[in-house]
Structure formats: structure tokens, C-alpha cells
Chain A
């Protein structure tokens, strides 16, 4: 952790705190000017979008597996398929997105040859589904039967039991699952870098191309040195910080809900 801070200091010294808001990224020697804004924007937009897209899907799936069809053969098979999603290497997601998803989106009329924030968000959403689903599934199926039976005996419908009994008692675990998912989305590199178009600007619309912090680090790290290296490390540090902030905000919201 310290080595990160150490490495990032030259960047901050040269650019000051404005580094965070600077939207330029110019690596030409003699005119070097680095700013983190395009990447911060890209990271936050894609990760949030991915979380929002995946939320209903993984929640439904975890209900399906942990409650409606719990213990059945069908649930076992489907559960395994969801777990398999977690095992697919991110390059393969990137390749699949490149060769399969992108042409599909082009047919649907997407601009920029199918690259961009939208495409990247979809792939991210698919990638993070298993994390939230698996964990939520486990947690939901662990809700003690007595609680559920008590509610049923009072005449509650299935739906009511779910939303008034299961979810509240499993809430902590479910949210933990989503925090894990979100974290994964923030840090995902390979799949995003293949689909996002890699333009170092703040995206103007949801369908334009852009770049994320993880992606630019992966791309440029290989041969960066001096000020550029320091800027990249600074971006890594910022990613740490942003992850921390988002986590804290999430926990705060949960506390408020209780």
C-alpha cells in the first residue's frame, strides 16, 4: 500500500489535486499532461450501470435458487451454470463480447461500431452476476424455516414471505454480495479494455467510447516510466480511494434503512 502512495507522489506534486479533475491525457514527451477525470468517469459509469443491470437479474436468480426451487435438481443445475459464469476468464468474456455481443449490438443500431460504455457495461453486468447470485442464494436458503413457517401459518403469500421475512433477515448477506459484485466491476480490466474503445475522454453519452481506470493501467503500464508511471500509479491509488468511498456510502445507506 505504501509503495503505491510513494509511487503516486510525483504525479500529485506536478499536477496538484487538479489531477483528479483534469480531463487531458497527453503522453507526448515534452507536452505531458495527465489527468484522471476521463477514467474516473468511465469507471464509475460502467460499474454503476453494470450493477443496476445485474441487480434485478441476480436477485431473481438467487430467489429462484434459494427459495422457489430450493433443493431441486433444476436448482442444482442452474446454480452450477451460474457458478460457471464466475469461472470464465475475463479475456474470454472480452473475446465473446467482441465476436458475438458487438455484432448483435451493431445490428441493433449502436453507433461507434459497437464499442463503448454501453457494451462494456453489459459485459460487466454479465460478469458480476454470479458473485451476487451465489452468495445471496446461499444466504437466502439459510433463513431459518421456523420464521418462514410462522409467516405462512399467518396466511401470508409466498411473495409476502419473501419480502417481509426472508429479505430482511438475509439483508446483510445479500448486500454483501452486491458489494462484492460492485468491487469486481470496478476492478475488471481485460474484458472492458477490449470493448470500451479506449478513447481517453470523458464520455459524452452512454453510447460513446471512453476508458476506465483499470483499463488504462493495464494498457499503459507495460512501458510507462517517469511521470507517466507515476500518474498511472496515482490512478491506481484513486481507484482504491473511490472503492473505499463507495463502500462506505453503501454501508451508510444500509444503516439508514434499518
Chain B
């Protein structure tokens, strides 16, 4: 028996040695720097980040690790200086910026949409007006065959069942974007519930993470909730179309999300894109950002580490990286946003000297 154990262990060690110098090409870099970049933060853009981070690692030999611990975790990790950069769906407002140990800059990385997903067999192409959204998510409409729902969707057959609202139990940038939109279209919501990463929900039950909400909706007949776009698409959950500020009913798509970013963007790129004025825009869209320190010489960071960080982020803004977004149902940044992001990256310094030209 002991021999068996030894043999097994030997095989295992050999196998793992082999895969370190593996065919996946993670180390196929020609003896390049063994720099590791560590980042943590939002889960909203994770499918996109996972894909492009890996691509960059294979291309450049720099090892990248990303931990999806939530926007707040990303902010905290950056505050504690234990990561090279953080990721967040909710930008730091002036008050929070002032609390950070040093000046922090934001660069947007991709556009995403928060979709209204639901599970109601036999009911496709659901159209939800602003009034309907407000009433359903505030618990004033409790049944699917409510007259208001019927009048907004003539031709659809609604069953006489209870609406189960599903929201996030954990703090989330997705919730932030959704509630920001709701506050803009409904004064009642703005007053009673407000905007934020976690809210006191008037109705409904909570599930953890986008997958929790998506899974719950998928498994629960007569339910409705809000989730990041990729989760709805991947799990083939029914999506409702929402009314934008021009009155058009829009379904989330790459085009409609990109349209939401067509307006002006401030130089520091901190702006919420919900309820955009563009007639073709999907109104529940938003940027997601990466945050890092403007002055990169802190905590004994080497110049090389800082350089690799900005080089990577610059690559993230490139056409190549942005082009990948569509594959996973995120929208690439509009040219104006990329321009601002690149400008900001060129203002990041090491000991006062900009790292990139």
C-alpha cells in the first residue's frame, strides 16, 4: 500500500512539472521578466477580463492574476496597496477620492449592460415602460396579469401568477447601475430606495452574485430581476426591452449599449451612462473602470513593475483588446473614451516622470 502511495505521488509530481512548462504557452516567453501583475475587483466585467488578461499573459509573458472579490474589494485592495490596480463598476466620488492615501486615476475599460431578465413561459418580447419597472420593483404590482402590464403589452398572454422579484444580496456595481437608472426615471424610487451598491429593497429576495440571480431566475417560474448582460445571454434567459429617454423600446445589444456612450465624457472619465439621451441607446448601460495610483513609486514598487502595469493597461485600451469585447457580449469603448483613457495613462508617473510617452 505504501508503495502505491509513493508511485502515485511520483506520477503526480512529474505530471505537474511537465505542465508548468506547458503546452498552453503560458511561459513561452523568451526568458522575459517574471513580473506578476495582481489585480482585484468587480465581477461585472469578469468574463471580459478573464479572456483578455489571459491573452495578454500569453503574448507578453507577464503573469496576470485577477480576483473577482467585488468593486469594494477592489477599492480596498488598492487602498491597502496589495494590488497593482483595482477594478470597480462604481467610480470613486470626490469624497472617497479624498480618503485614498494618494491620488487615484480612473480609466474605463469596457461597456456593459444591465438587463432585465425574467422567466415566464409563453411570454416573449416583454416591454417594460418606466412606470412598470417602478411598480414591479417596488412591489406595487404583484401579479403578472395586472392590467397595466397587459395594456403595455397587447397581444401577450399573461398568467395569473405572483411576480417573484430577485435582486442582489451582496453589494454590487450591477446594482449600482440599475439603481442609478431607476432613480433617474422614478422620483419615488429615488426617494424611497435611492442609488447604491446595496439597497434596502422594498420587495423580493436576494441571491449572491450575478450567477446567483441568473440561476434563481432561470429555475424559478414567474420571476424577474436584473443581471449583467453576459449572464443572460449565456444562460439563455428571457430579456425584456426597456424604454429609453426618447421613448423607444430597446433591447440590449452591442449597438444599443455603444450608443449609450455617445455623449460627452469628462476628462477624468467618471460618468454614469444610464438613461442616455441618444435615441438608440439602451438606457441601463455603464462603464466599468480600473483604478490605480497616479504616482507609481509607493511601497517599494520597482520601476519595472510600474512600467509593466501601465503597458498592460495601455494594451487594454488598444483596438485589439477592445475588439474582443463583443465576443463575450460587452461593448467596446467609443473612440472618445479611449482617447481620454490613453491621456490619463500618460499622466501616470514614476517619481514624477511619466512612464509612457
Contact = CB atoms under 8 A, between A and B. Distances in A.
Q: Do chains A and B touch in the complex (CB under 8 A)?
A: yes
B170 A222 contact: yes
Contacts of A31: 194
A222 B208 contact: no
Interface string B196-218: 11111000011110001001100
Contacts of A102: 219
Contacts of B208: 193-194, 198, 218-219
A223 interface: yes
B193 A224 contact: no
B73 interface: yes
Q: Which among A99, A215, A220 has the greatest number of chain B C-beta atoms within 10 A? A: A220
B207 A29 contact: no
Interface stretch (B22-30, B64-72, B125-133, B318-326): B64-72
Contacts of B171: 27, 219-220, 222-224
Interface in B51-90: 69-73, 75-76
B220 interface: yes
A198 B200 contact: no
A30 interface: yes
Given A28-B194, A198-B169, A222 B206 contact: no
Nearest to B164: A113
Interface residues of A, number: 31
Contacts of A115: 205
Interface in A209-258: 209, 211, 215, 218-220, 222-225, 228
A199 B212 CA distance: 14
A26 B72 contact: no
B2 to A, nearest CB: 19
Nearest to B88: A223
A104 to B, nearest CB: 13
A198 B72 contact: no
Given A28-B200, A197-B206, A113 B220 contact: yes
Interface of B: 69-73, 75-76, 164, 169-172, 193-194, 196-200, 205-208, 212, 215-216, 219-220, 223
Closest 6 CB pairs of A and B: A223-B72, A222-B70, A198-B206, A198-B169, A223-B171, A219-B170
